[in-house]
Amino acid sequence: MTYEIEQLRKEMTAELDAILLYWEKQAVDNVNGGFLGQIDCNEIKITDSEKGSVLNARILWTFAAAYQNTKNKVHQALAERAFHYLANTFYDPEFGGIFWSVDHLGHPKDTKNQIYAIAFAIYGLSEYYAISDDPKTLEMAICLYEKIQKYSYDPINKGYLEAFTRDWKPLDDLRLSDKDANEKKTMNTHLHIIEAYANLYKIWPDADLKNIITELLETIETHFINTKTGHLKLFFDEQWKERPDVISYGHDIEAAWLLLQCAEVTQDEKLISRFRDYAILMTDATKEGIDSDGGLWYEFDPETKTFVAEKHWWPQAELLIGFYNAWQLTRNKSYLDVVFTNWAFIKNHIIDSKNSEWIWGVYEDYSPILKDKAGFWKCPYHNGRACLELIHRIENP
């Protein structure tokens, strides 16, 4: 192992500890239970902010995954805390879904069934089962998986529909956020369904689930991966008519390594081989969005031919994994060089050296983007996972 890679492992280990300590010390809601719904960019805790199921599920995954590396009992306890809050507060015992949000007291607020959120619940529950062996955890994960298959899966056109009411009726507004197109099938949701299903399969190797994972990978291959450019297509209607949109570099590089990891659970060598090729294709496509300072621009608008001149925290985290993965596959040092330059950018501009954790991001002039340190979309999942993935890949070459 070269000195540089060993040094990277040490720094990833230290950064993982710092991220986890921040969430342990700052994000626990000791008054109302679970975790705080929001900490703003000035480290002010918004104690009456609503709490999102995606944030809670990602905290659950992060601490359960981290415990397998750190063996720190505090991390185990925080994973348990996140599980109980998810099970007792976000899980809907009447209709079997996951509330999108609850208020700060834990009462249901937005009760829609957003499939993206349910996928993250399965992802987190599966990881927690790996450290708890709690049959209730597995039962809940399987129940949520069955709900997605029953209500969201499109048996005619394949793929999955975005969102439903609490009682699984059609919904007019299907969007994850205001910036998204209101379409019935999206890349983002499919990416995180396959992520969740692959994680569930690791702890519940069901034959039908394996077939579903295979079909879903083929659906993603057919509709979402632009095999000419290496970029992802983002939005479609029910019949797979595309609504052209921006290029999302963070999703491109996240999908590059994550889809291969999902393919590997099937043990289908032909499928794995294809997604190895896609991993390199999509990694190479992401190079378009890397600035000279090593940071990854957020998005590119093909119509105006301009970058969204922001560098958000989470695409940087995914870039670390994606380019390290490409180096592992090819041993082409240029990919590893990107990892080192991007990590230097993160240390210089994204890590909050005063308060710890990562800021939302920076603008073109390196001024900070003044958005949450913790919130609906700001979590320890991307950066914590980047640290865990690189530690694991370096220690298990």
Q: What share of the chain is helix, strand, coil (3-state, %, to 5)?
A: 55, 10, 30
Cα separation, 262 vs 92, in Å, equals 28
* Sign of the CA dihedral running 128, 129, 132, 137: positive
For the chain, which ranges sit under pLDDT 70?
1, 176
Enumerate the β-bridge partners of residue 95: none
Give the residue carrying structure tokens 């009992």: 73
What is the amino acid identity at position 260?
L
Using one digit for the tens of pLDDT, what is the confidence trace for 233-270? 999 999 999 999 999 999 999 999 999 999 999 999 99
Give the pLDDT of residue 1. Answer: 59
Give the residue carrying structure tokens 């708890």: 132
Give the pLDDT of residue 178. Answer: 74
Is residue 85 within 8 A of residue 56, CB to CB? The reply is: yes
378 CB-contact burial (10 Å; exposed 0-12 / middle 13-18 / buried 19+)? buried
Give the pLDDT of residue 320. Answer: 98
If one counts the domains in the chain, the total is 1
> In which domain, by residue range, is 119 found?
3-395
Cα separation, 148 vs 143, in Å, equals 9
Q: What is the CATH number of the domain that holds 55?
A: 1.50.10.10
Give the residue carrying structure tokens 């596959």: 329
For the record, the structure tokens of 48 come out as: 């009456």
Q: What is the distance between the terminal CA atoms of the chain, rounded to a whole angstrom?
A: 9
Give the pLDDT of residue 183. Answer: 84
Cα separation, 258 vs 119, in Å, equals 15
Using one digit for the tens of pLDDT, what is the confidence trace for 314-326? 999 999 999 999 9
